[in-house]
């Protein structure tokens, strides 16, 4: 058996290699932190976990000796005479035929080395534990003896001298006189992040690991990776959440780079991995596709577990105690007792227990249970298992009759009739399967109910899952009758968990909805969308009826009548975004239809929304269009309306005799306060080529 400390060292080394090869450059710092801590816990607990023989890569150590045969002791003695074997040994010693074993000295040396290594290991543990405790004491002493400032949950302890800033618990140790205000502030932010994320606990765990694994160089490397990841995690938090400029932050790191480091048990701002920290700050964020690397830890640890842990023969695990008991009593209860009393050989009577075991042996032998050995029979007898019980399994043709199987069934109260009920259905009846069914309280009738409805791929795992979720065959049959094609185990369980009925699914199939998938049904049910609502949307004439659009319409309370009105308003194939925007702004289909009927160029959903938002009426737009003004666009109408220019004013200006008047001219004249009559006074006296600019200029002069 591998020593526990070496086994832990091997697992820590393997975890360090796993991290270095796959994860050290990933930017999932929080996940890396959890993984590093979990690997420490696994490294110290997995060596204590026994591995079933069938999964182990090692052979099982034989710990139970077979019982002695039921025969008399072959070594007979006579009164006053040593046994024959003892006489032969004495003779060999006298003649010099027997010599001391040649390996005695080497065995002694090996034991001495192991003993010295044992004491050396514990001396190291004591030394490193004392160093760890000394660091804690010094830090606590400094925290409460030095002057400190309370900053919320933090205590800023003022140091003197050239010491690197660091933190432990809720204390930040720093010499404020060494740094300018900006650098000092960034150091505090950095150390506060360490405290908020509880990094002191990580370092304490790492130090305790080193106390027990001080001899393992990879444990020291492992601690270094933990410390590095904590710094990456803190740097990322400072830059992302505290909005510190990366260039300024990296510059402050360089300013603090001095050789006087803090104690190992503290998180400190100044680290020798400065270059790597700066590189990680500028590294591109890891892609989600790299998550497979983290998943690989589970099979990796499973291989380590099966490869190095002590295997256990689970087939005799329930009987280890009984086996040891039988092994110690085999000569006393199942064999004649030969003792030496007053120089005579005396033989006791055969106990009643031996006769009972022999009767069971004969009875079981008659059942033709050939896989049971004589020792198995003694153990069955000791466990109170009758021959009739064993025979009942032989009679049903059960093949896996072994000591572990029979005793396991007997302890669980499993009868042969129960096992046969599953055999009749043609199912796997291995002991593990039977135990799983019995533990779940599943009867053969439950499985038969699913076979009767012809549910495909009905495995034991499926049955266990259905029973655990409380799913009946009637519920599954109702789903099958809907014609839904994807009725896998996961689908049925998801529907049942969400409370989705067959009638709900069928209602969507009845309206001819095509994109009916598991995700669609779940989404509709969760949003409370009925088939009637979807049917109304289908009849509205809207073509882009995707699941996302339906859910968006339902969430905003968009009615089918609104969509139908907008589709028929003259807009060219309005999108879901347009419909949602109109509904949110309260634009009615009648308003849209009327605007479209005026015949203005460039009238789009966005311009209609703008006109409605500005309160421009359809009559105003019609009036402007009827003035004879050319090139009227929605933006011009908005400008005229915003300036308060009426249609009559536009009509009067054009009627005054100005030629080629544009919307900009109208706005300029109105802004200058020029009336239509004023313009007309110029045209009446016979002036030709009068321009709006000239009129505005004369108006300003008071002419």
Q: Render pLDDT for 547-582 as a digit per residue (tens, 0 to 9).
A: 888 989 999 999 999 999 988 888 887 899 989 999
* pLDDT score recorded for residue 238: 86
Place of tokens 């069971």: 360
Question: For residues 214 and 398, what is the distance between their CA atoms, to the nearest angstrom?
Answer: 56
Phi first, then psi, for residue 346 (nearest 5°) are -120, 140
How far from the centroid of its chain's Cα atoms is residue 412's Cα? 35
118-132, 225-239, 244-258: the lowest-pLDDT one: 244-258
Place of tokens 């070594």: 75
Sign of dihedral through CA atoms 309, 310, 315, 316? negative
| Residue 136 token pair | 């804690």
**Segments in 472-574 forming alpha helices (H):** 473-480, 489-498, 502-510, 518-527, 531-539, 547-556, 560-567
| Contacting residues for 425 by C-beta, under 8 A, at least 6 apart | 444, 447, 448, 451
pTM, two decimals, is 0.45
Question: For residues 618 and 592, what is the distance between their CA atoms, to the nearest angstrom?
Answer: 9
Closest CA to 173 of 160, 189, 186, 159: 159
Is the pLDDT at 450 greater than 50, yes or no?
A: yes
* pLDDT score recorded for residue 545: 85
| Residue 66 token pair | 């077979």
Is the pLDDT at 119 greater than 60, yes or no?
A: yes
| Contacting residues for 112 by C-beta, under 8 A, at least 6 apart | none
Is the pLDDT at 657 greater than 80, yes or no?
A: no
Place of tokens 């306060």: 673
483 pLDDT band, cuts 50/70/90, is: confident
**How do strand 166-168 and strand 171-174 relate by DSSP bridges?**
antiparallel
Q: Determine how many CB atoms are found less than 10 A away from the CB of residue 67.
A: 18
Sign of dihedral through CA atoms 657, 658, 662, 668? negative
More confident of the two residues 227 and 369: 227
| Dihedral Cα 493, 494, 497, 503, nearest 10 deg | -100
* pLDDT score recorded for residue 86: 40
List strands edge to edge, sheet with 154-158.
Answer: 148-151, 154-158, 171-174, 166-168, 267-268
702 pLDDT band, cuts 50/70/90, is: low
């Amino acid at each position: 058996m591998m020593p526990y400390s070496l086994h832990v060292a091997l697992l820590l080394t393997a975890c360090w290699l796993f991290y270095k090869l796959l994860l050290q450059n990933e930017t999932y710092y929080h996940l890396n932190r959890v993984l590093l801590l979990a690997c420490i816990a696994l490294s110290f607990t997995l060596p204590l976990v026994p591995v079933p023989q069938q999964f182990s890569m090692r052979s099982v150590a034989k710990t139970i000796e077979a019982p002695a045969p039921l025969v008399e002791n072959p070594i007979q003695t006579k009164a006053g005479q040593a046994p024959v074997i003892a006489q032969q040994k004495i003779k060999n010693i006298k003649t010099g035929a027997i010599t001391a074993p040649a390996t005695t000295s080497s065995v002694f040396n090996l034991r001495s080395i192991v003993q010295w290594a044992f004491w050396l290991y514990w001396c190291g543990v004591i030394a490193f534990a004392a160093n760890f405790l000394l660091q804690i004491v010094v830090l606590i002493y400094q925290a409460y003896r030095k002057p400190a400032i309370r900053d919320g949950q933090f205590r800023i302890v003022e140091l003197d001298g050239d010491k690197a800033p660091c933190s432990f618990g809720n204390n930040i140790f720093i010499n404020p006189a060494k740094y300018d205000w900006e650098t000092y502030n960034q150091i505090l932010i950095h150390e506060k992040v360490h405290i908020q994320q509880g990094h002191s606990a990580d370092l304490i765990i790492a130090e305790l690991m080193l106390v027990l694994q001080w001899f393992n160089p990879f444990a020291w490397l492992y601690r270094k990776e933990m410390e590095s990841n904590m710094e990456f995690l803190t740097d990322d938090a400072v830059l992302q959440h505290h909005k510190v400029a990366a260039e300024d932050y990296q510059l402050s790191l360089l300013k603090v780079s001095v050789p006087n480091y803090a104690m190992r048990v503290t998180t400190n701002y100044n680290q020798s991995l400065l270059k790597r920290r700066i590189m990680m700050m500028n590294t591109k964020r890891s892609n989600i596709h790299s998550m497979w690397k983290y998943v690989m830890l589970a099979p990796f640890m499973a291989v380590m577990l099966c490869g190095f842990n002590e295997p256990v023969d689970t087939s005799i695990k329930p009987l280890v105690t009984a086996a040891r008991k039988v092994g110690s009593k085999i000569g006393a209860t199942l064999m004649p007792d030969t003792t030496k009393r007053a120089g005579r050989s005396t033989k006791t009577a055969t106990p009643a227990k031996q006769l009972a075991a022999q009767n069971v042996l004969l009875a079981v032998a008659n059942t033709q249970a050939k896989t049971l050995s004589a020792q198995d029979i003694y153990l069955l007898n000791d466990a109170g298992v009758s021959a009739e019980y064993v025979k009942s399994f032989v009679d049903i043709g059960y093949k896996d009759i072994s000591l572990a199987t029979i005793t396991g069934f007997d302890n669980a109260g499993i009868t042969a009739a129960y096992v046969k009920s599953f055999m009749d259905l043609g199912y796997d009846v291995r002991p593990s399967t039977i135990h799983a069914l019995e533990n779940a309280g599943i009867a053969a009738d439950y499985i038969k109910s699913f076979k009767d409805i012809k549910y495909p791929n009905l495995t034991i795992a499926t049955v266990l899952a259905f029973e655990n979720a409380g799913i009946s065959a009637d519920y599954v049959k109702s789903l099958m009758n809907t014609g839904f094609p994807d009725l896998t185990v996961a689908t049925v369980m998801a529907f049942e968990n969400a409370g989705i009925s067959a009638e709900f699914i069928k209602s969507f199939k009845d309206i001819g909805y095509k994109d009916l998938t598991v995700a669609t049904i779940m989404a509709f049910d969760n949003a409370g969308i009925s088939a009637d609502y979807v049917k109304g949307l289908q009849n509205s004439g809207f073509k882009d009826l995707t699941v996302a659009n339906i859910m968006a319409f339902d969430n905003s309370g968009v009615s089918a009548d609104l969509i139908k009105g907008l589709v028929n308003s003259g807009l060219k194939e309005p999108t879901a975004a347009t419909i949602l925007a109109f509904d949110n702004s309260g634009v009615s289909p009648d308003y849209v239809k009327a605007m479209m009927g005026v015949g203005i160029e460039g009238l789009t959903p966005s311009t209609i929304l703008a006109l409605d938002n500005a309160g421009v009426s359809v009559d105003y737009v019609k009036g402007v269009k009827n003035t004879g003004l050319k090139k009227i666009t929605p933006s011009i109408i908005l400008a005229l309306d915003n300036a308060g220019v009426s249609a009559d004013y536009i009509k009067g200006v054009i009627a005054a005799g100005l030629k080629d008047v544009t919307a900009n001219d109208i706005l300029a004249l109105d802004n200058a306060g020029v009336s239509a009559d004023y313009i007309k006074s110029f045209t009446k006296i016979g002036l030709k080529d009068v321009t709006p600019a000239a009129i505005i200029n004369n108006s300003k002069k008071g002419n």
